[in-house]
Amino acid sequence: MENIFEVIDVLAHEYGWTIEYIENLEVQEISELLEIILQRKQNEARLQSIIVGSAMAGKELNFKKKEVEKTEVDQLKELMAKLKQSEKK
């Protein structure tokens, strides 16, 4: 953060805190809060990318699904195993 006003803006926006409340925080607390905010924003961006990518690919997301779909790598491994078996015959 370039200056205190940016810090105040971020914390006030994220948590709805007043300027006075934020000014009474310790520098270490502010630093840790900003790091947590950054991590959460990055995780939200990753999840959003997954959702948008899946939607564009026509795939339905089902986070409750217990069975994981086979990846392309798994499918290729199965195909390679089948090919090796057919070579032995």
Q: What is the pLDDT of residues 27-64, one digit of tens each?
A: 999 999 999 999 999 988 888 888 888 888 887 766 66
- Check if the beta carbon of residue 15 is closer than 8 Å to that of residue 34: no
Flag whether pLDDT at 66 surpasses 90.
no
Share of the chain above pLDDT 70, in %: 75
**DSSP at 57:** T
Report the C-alpha gap between 14 and 6 in whole angstroms: 12
pLDDT at position 63 is 63
Torsion angle (degrees, nearest 10) of CA 29, 30, 36, 41: 170
Question: pLDDT averaged over the chain?
Answer: 81
Burial label for 11, CB within 10 Å (0-12, 13-18, 19+), is buried
Q: Is 59 left (phi over 0), alpha (psi -120 to 50) or beta?
A: beta
Confidence of residue 72 (pLDDT cuts 50, 70, 90): low
71 vs 38, which has greater pLDDT? 38
